[in-house]
């Protein structure tokens, strides 16, 4: 079955361009021009991923939609924006986007990024599924759930995969490049700061229960 991708974009020309490229890549595009319609279509279509414009008309902008989706879903979100400042990219990732693409963009590159995210989040065969326990933290690969003292902690797909990579390589100092290759994949087009953003989010969500140490000049190590 072809997976659906929700396009949240108010510019008709960009929306149609994305529709054409997604159809060529064997996705089923679903288009919403407003944040309100996006949330309605998301519940109705249950898409495999969302391409989300930051600037939308109406009462809900892209940030509002991203926050609303993250309240109950870990669906991969690729955020689109004409704003290319580093702080804008960091903020988009911090509120739950899996990737951030600035306009103007290459549709082929965006589809490549989308495929990379989907391969990473969906290609987990049950035969290799494991449950890792780190003190009060339980990481369940097959169910893609994480709990802290029995309480489920909502994570984005990237946060979940990064946590699992750190746990399975606990005690090893990992460079940002190693983390990018292991979690985002060697085809990742972004910069190293993406790792820092997601580490900061994991620290915020788990506090002292997740002892991630910064190894200066190298990267990070899970004690």
CATH (domain of 37): 3.40.50.2300
Same domain, 118 and 12: yes
Domain final residue, candidates 122, 146, 166: 122
Same domain, 82 and 19: yes
Q: Assign 101 a pLDDT band (cuts: 50, 70, 90).
A: confident
The residue segments making up the domain with residue 178 are 126-222
Residue 127 clears pLDDT 90, i.e. is over it: no
pLDDT of residue 188: 65
79 contact partners, CB below 8 Å, separation of at least 6? 52, 53, 54, 62, 66, 92, 97, 99, 100, 101
Range 188-209 average pLDDT: 85
Read off the pTM: 0.64
pLDDT of residue 35: 93
> Which region, left, alpha or beta, applies to residue 216 given φ > 0 means left and ψ of -120 to 50 means alpha?
beta
Strands 137-140, 145-148: pairing kind: antiparallel
Same domain, 38 and 132: no
- What's the structural domain count of the chain? 2
Same domain, 99 and 16: yes
Same domain, 58 and 17: yes
Same domain, 139 and 209: yes
Q: Point out the least confidently predicted range of 47-51, 70-74, 83-87.
A: 83-87
Same domain, 204 and 106: no
Residue 98 clears pLDDT 80, i.e. is over it: yes
Q: Assign 50 a pLDDT band (cuts: 50, 70, 90).
A: very high
Domain final residue, candidates 91, 122, 153: 122
Same domain, 172 and 112: no
Domain final residue, candidates 71, 88, 122: 122
Same domain, 17 and 89: yes
**Residue 217: phi, psi to the nearest 5?**
85, -5
Q: Assign 90 a pLDDT band (cuts: 50, 70, 90).
A: confident
> Which region, left, alpha or beta, applies to residue 198 given φ > 0 means left and ψ of -120 to 50 means alpha?
alpha
Range 65-94 average pLDDT: 81
């Amino acid at each position: 079955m072809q997976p659906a991708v929700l396009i949240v974009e108010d510019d008709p020309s960009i929306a149609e361009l994305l529709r054409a490229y997604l159809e060529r890549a064997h996705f089923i595009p679903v288009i919403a021009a407003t944040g309100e319609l996006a949330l309605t279509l998301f519940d109705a279509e249950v898409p495999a991923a969302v391409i989300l414009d930051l600037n939308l008309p109406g009462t809900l902008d892209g940030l509002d939609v991203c926050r609303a989706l993250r309240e109950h879903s870990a669906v991969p979100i690729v955020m689109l924006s004409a704003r290319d400042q580093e702080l804008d990219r960091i903020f988009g990732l911090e509120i739950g986007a899996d990737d951030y693409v600035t306009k103007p963009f290459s549709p082929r590159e965006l589809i490549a990024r989308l495929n990379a995210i989907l391969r990473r989040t969906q290609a987990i065969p049950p035969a290799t599924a494991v449950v890792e326990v780190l003190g009060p933290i339980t990481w369940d690969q097959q169910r893609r759930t994480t709990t802290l003292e029995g309480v489920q902690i909502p994570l984005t797909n990237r946060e979940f995969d990064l946590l699992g990579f750190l746990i399975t390589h606990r005690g090893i100092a990992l460079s940002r490049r190693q983390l990018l290759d292991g979690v985002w994949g060697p085809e990742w087009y972004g910069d190293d700061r993406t790792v820092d953003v997601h580490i900061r989010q994991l620290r915020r969500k788990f506090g002292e229960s997740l002892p991630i140490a910064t190894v200066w000049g190298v990267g990070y190590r899970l004690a």
